[in-house]
Amino acid sequence: MNLQVGLRKIISKAIRAGVVFTVAMQGVSQTGASSAPVVAPVPVQQAAPRGPAIGVPVVGMPGLHDPSTVVRFHGKYYVYSTGRGIPFYSSPDRVTWTREGSVFAQIPDEVHAAVPKNSGANVWAPDIVRVGDQFYLYYAVSSWGSFQSAIGLITNPVLDPKDPAYKWTDRGVVVTSDGTEDLNAIDPGVILAPDGTLWVCYGSYHGSIRVTQLDPKTGLALEPNKLGAAIATARESEASDLIFYGGYYYLFVNHGSCCKGKDSTYNIRVGRARAITGPYLDREGKPMTTGGGSLFLASDAQRIGPGHFGRVLDYDNVAAPERFSIHYEANLSLDGRSHLDIRPLSWSADGWPIAGDNAAGTATH
């Protein structure tokens, strides 16, 4: 519990200091499945921003923490992050990025009710995927001093705030933890599997990383009162994500500590399994449920604490080269703070992921 509180308090302080503070751009409307009222697009209190003003394109990777999977849709890349109301950025080319504001002003009532100690606006570590004609955006809500947490879902047919069809709709609570389970329901990582099934993995520094099957039609848990399968220990890991390649599911998790700037020890580990529910083993055959995980990416001299792996999803070009997104806890080549990066993803002859890098001066450096 002390580890979670310490880590998240540091993130919260960063948010309040303007790391990812933004104003709301849209409200969240309500559909029939949930009883929460419509959330009006009221302003969110804004601190002095660390980065550029909303709507101003700036060359260089944005400063943010806990990025979602980066998605490309209708000619733009989008990324969502920890912060008040889910801040997000867009880019036409992965070079110039624009702060777009926040997804909502306040957490939808049903989700907030599951974690009443939350301020009503602070959201952690979102993730996104497109299912059919809708984007499913998952986000975590928690409170200091407990593992009472929830993952919520909102949907939108498009991502550009200027599109007339742009409208986020609340779909309610996906999974929760009440503080007594072997679980902390934060850090969602969502995957639409090749067979059309939808899953979310989640968990952080308490108990287990778990995976739960979702209903692709609603985005919600198929069995909401049942704990998902434990696929990794969360005693020393968080920020899980799942991808599929060559007949295997690959589970990425973060080991080490975050939120300490250049002293962070975050590093990304990986294991694989034939079934999405595991067992996940690393290269040496050690189960991730007992702390296994082969090193995928660690710090270098300038880029400290890589974390929150996501495989870039290009919905405009399914044949685009593979890339992955992360943040660094401290990028010493920039301002020493947390920044997004997008790098090439390749594979070894025996089917293990390899973290590529960008040549100096290219799009993601």
CATH number at residue 132: 2.115.10.20
pLDDT value of position 281? 98
Residue 361 falls inside a structural domain: no
Residue 257 falls inside a structural domain: yes
Q: In Å, how far from its chain's centre is CA 55?
A: 23
pLDDT value of position 351? 98
pLDDT confidence of 359, banded at 50, 70, 90? Answer: low
124-128, 215-219, 358-362 — which is least confidently predicted?
A: 358-362
Q: What are the pLDDT digits (tens) for 25-66?
A: 344 433 333 333 333 332 323 333 355 789 999 999 999 999
Which is the catalytic residue, given 110, 170, 238, 329?
Answer: 238
Residue 145 falls inside a structural domain: yes
pLDDT value of position 40? 32
Residue 364 falls inside a structural domain: no
160 counts as catalytic: no
Statement: residue 85 has pLDDT above 70: yes
Q: Please give the Cα distance from 203 to 319 (Å, whole number).
A: 32
pLDDT value of position 20? 36
pLDDT confidence of 4, banded at 50, 70, 90? Answer: very low
Residue 23 falls inside a structural domain: yes
Query: What does residue 302 show for φ and ψ, rounded to 5 degrees?
Result: -110, -25
Q: What are the CA-CA distances from residue 275 to residues 215, 244, 248, 272, 347 (Å)?
A: 18, 10, 7, 9, 20
Q: CB neighbours (10 Å) of residue 240?
A: 26
Statement: residue 95 has pLDDT above 60: yes
Which is the catalytic residue, given 66, 109, 282, 329?
Answer: 66
Six-digit token pair at 259? 């939120």
Q: Please give the Cα distance from 150 to 176 (Å, whole number).
A: 4
Statement: residue 210 has pLDDT above 70: yes
pLDDT value of position 360? 54
Q: Please give the Cα distance from 119 to 13 (Å, whole number).
A: 13
Average pLDDT for 4-22: 39
Q: 339 lies in which domain range?
A: 2-355
pLDDT value of position 13? 38
Average pLDDT, the chain: 86
* Cβ neighbours of residue 61 closer than 8 Å, sequence gap 6 or more: 97, 331, 334, 339, 340, 341, 342, 364
Statement: residue 16 has pLDDT above 50: no
Q: Please give the Cα distance from 349 to 353 (Å, whole number).
A: 10
Residue 173 falls inside a structural domain: yes
Query: What does residue 113 show for φ and ψ, rounded to 5 degrees?
Result: -60, -25
Q: What are the pLDDT digits (tens) for 281-326?
A: 999 999 999 999 999 999 999 999 999 999 999 999 999 999 999 9
Residue 111 falls inside a structural domain: yes
pLDDT confidence of 145, banded at 50, 70, 90? Answer: low
Comparing C-alpha atoms, which of 363, 340, 364, 343 is closest to residue 353? Answer: 343
Statement: residue 357 has pLDDT above 90: yes
Q: What are the pLDDT digits (tens) for 261-285?
A: 898 989 999 999 999 999 999 999 9
pLDDT value of position 196? 97
Between residues 351 and 35, the one the model is more confident about: 351
350 counts as catalytic: no
pLDDT confidence of 341, banded at 50, 70, 90? Answer: very high
Residue 148 falls inside a structural domain: yes
Beta-bridge partner residues of 152: 139, 173
How many separate domains does the chain show? 1
pLDDT value of position 181? 81
